[in-house]
Structure 1
Amino acid sequence: MLTLGNLFVLMLLATGGAWLWHNHGLREKALERVKQHCAKLDLELLDGNVALKRITIARDANGRRRLARVYNFEFTVTGEQRHPGTITQFGAHTVQIELAPYPFEIKPPQPTAEVIEMNQWRQEHNRWRH
């Protein structure tokens, strides 16, 4: 027989399950955003995951207090060192992605190989001598 107490426990379990399912979806969105951010910066996301660090109350851009989820992840530049990062979300909306300082190389522009015929070069340079 289903009593009011049993119904309350059942509803409590269902609510907890729905909350866990919703959090899993938000974690997947955070992971996708981190993957995009790392790809844009030519970084490699390590372990292919984000881990919930904490759930806290934070102020949004309008100054209102909202529930924020902060996830940790690790990335690498060279493949040798791990660097930490965090992503903060208000629901499915990404607030910020922070990366720890990491070394990076400034890539010089690739030289362009342009073939100039000798006759053309002579014509251009002889023109200025007149």
Structure 2
Amino acid sequence: MLTLENLFVLMVLATAGAWLWHSHGLREKALERVKQHCAKLELELLDGNVALKRIGLVRDANGRKRLARVYGFEFTVTGEQRHPGTVTQFGAHTMQIELAPYPFEIKTPPHAGNVIEMNQWRQEHNRWRH
């Protein structure tokens, strides 16, 4: 027979299960955001996961303290060194992704043979200065 005590225990277990299911979905959203961010910056996300570091109060863009989840992850640029990063989420909304300082190459465009100096172009095309 179902007593009030048994019903209470079932409700607590159902609530805990729902919270775990919801948390898993939020972690998956955080992982997807981190994958997109790393791909955009041409970084490699290591281990293909994010791990919950803490749940706590964090200030949002308006300066209000809100309950947030902070996940940690690791990435690499060269494949030799691991660098830490964090993603902060308010519910399903990503607030920020922070990356530790890492080495990167400054990519310069290749020198094209058809580059014209601006001064030269002005001299050739400025008819009113003569």
TM-score normalised by structure 1 residue count = 0.83
Aligned length: 114
**Structure with greater Cα Rg:** 1
1:13 and 2:10 are equivalent in the alignment: no
Q: Matched residues in 1 for 2:15 and 2:46: separation? A: 33
- Give ranges in structure 1 of 5+ residues lacking alignment: 115-130
Could you tell me which amino acid in structure 2 is paired with residue 71 of structure 1? Y
Alignment of 1:1-130 (within 5 A): 1-112=1-112
1:57 is paired with a residue whose SS is strand
Identity across aligned pairs (percent)? 84
Q: Matched residues in 1 for 2:65 and 2:108: separation? A: 45
Q: Matched residues in 2 for 1:103 and 1:62: separation? A: 32
Could you tell me which amino acid in structure 1 is paired with residue 100 of structure 2? A
- Give ranges in structure 2 of 5+ residues lacking alignment: 115-130
Q: Matched residues in 1 for 2:113 and 2:17: separation? A: 62
The alpha-carbon deviation at position 113 of structure 1 amounts to: 6.5
TM-score normalised by structure 2 residue count = 0.83
The alpha-carbon deviation at position 112 of structure 1 amounts to: 4.0
Q: Matched residues in 1 for 2:112 and 2:24: separation? A: 48
Let me know the Cα RMSD of the aligned residues. Answer: 1.2
